[in-house]
Amino acid sequence: MGGRKTTSNPLNILSLVLVLILAATFSDASTRGQKEDRLFIIGHGGEQRSYRVHLPPAYDGKKALPLVLVLHGGGGEAEGMARITQFSEKADRKGFIAVYPNGTGILSGQFLTWNAGNCCGHALDFKTDDVGFFRVLLEKLKKDFSIDSKRVYVTGLSNGGMMSYRLACELSGEIAAIAPVAGAMNVECKPAKPVSVILFHGTDDGHVRYDGGEPLVQADWHLRTDRPVKETASLWAKFNGCSPKAQTSVKGNVIMERYRGCREGTEVVVYTIRGEGHSWPGGRRWAPWAALPTREISATDLIWEFFANHPRKD
């Protein structure tokens, strides 16, 4: 699904800038004092691209470990995403490498976005080759660290979730599974190989609506139409050759749908959270005014459990 014609409104843009400044301030204040990860820079497409690497205590350079790429939302950055998801703490306990790449923006290191097809911001305006960046990044990470190439995973929030879908569509030979959170798949998708998918979405999300359509909360100057969650899940079940009918279970406000019988051991799982807004379930708020995440489930825990059970079979 393509984006609609781009329009801009000076008042909307000014409001967006003020919101992002506050979000960046909150994120910076909340990450001070955290254990410092290693920051790396690589060149791609005429730009200097950055990413943070968190190595668990179990890493010794001899045993190949799984890799989880964790993508921030639009206007976010790597350190903030580590705070929201606490994937570094999970990596320490479970023994995998967590990498937090940064998108691109007009200002260095701030208001960063990904080119996820019809969203968002600077990356979309300048047609940033983010798929190419991730291809180069994976090559670099495999060269620099001992990584299990059959256990490469991607997760992301909002615009980062959208980007994880795009990577699964275009780099399916590299990625074993993805876990989009509060994101939509708005690209034409023809994966060459099956990719396991676990996705999380709240029914009250106004930024990326559960039933699709235009956002109720316009946090970007581009008009876009998002694909519904159920349509996306059905598409991935079809791509992966799964049974078209999902097995459903309900606990509290959480509905879990699981598509089984998929090719090459893949699976598609959907977590619908009734009443949930634009958030990372079980995580921290991405801004002081953002919706409080549910405590009924932890997306980070469920994502890692799913990733650990779904390596590539080829």
313 belongs to a structural domain: no
3 belongs to a structural domain: no
DSSP secondary structure, 48-110, as one string: EEEEEEE--TT--SSS-EEEEEEE--TTB-HHHHHHHH-HHHHHHHHT-EEEEE--B-SSTTS
* Tokens standing for residue 151: 């256990």
Domain housing 264: 10-308
pLDDT for 1: 37
- Determine the Cα–Cα distance for residues 101 and 109; give it in Å rounded to an integer: 11
52 belongs to a structural domain: yes
Residue 183 corresponds to which amino acid? G
pLDDT for 46: 85
Q: Measured in Å, how far apart are the chain's first and last C-alpha atoms?
A: 30
pLDDT for 4: 35
Residue-level pLDDT, tens digit, the chain, 314 residues: 333 333 333 334 433 443 444 344 334 433 333 346 899 999 998 889 999 999 999 999 999 999 999 999 999 999 999 999 999 999 999 999 999 999 999 876 678 999 999 999 999 999 999 999 999 999 999 999 999 999 999 999 999 999 999 999 999 999 999 999 999 999 999 999 999 999 999 999 999 999 999 999 876 667 899 999 999 999 999 999 999 999 999 999 999 999 999 999 999 999 999 999 999 999 999 889 898 999 999 999 999 999 999 999 98
CB 147 within 8 A of CB 176: no
301 belongs to a structural domain: yes
269 belongs to a structural domain: yes
Helices (H), the chain: 10-31, 78-85, 87-94, 121-125, 130-144, 159-170, 229-239, 299-308
pLDDT for 249: 98
The count of structural domains within the chain is 1
Cβ neighbors of 194 (< 8 A, separation 6 or more) are 172, 239, 240, 241, 262, 263, 264, 266
1 belongs to a structural domain: no
148 belongs to a structural domain: yes
CATH number assigned to the domain comprising residue 263 = 3.40.50.1820
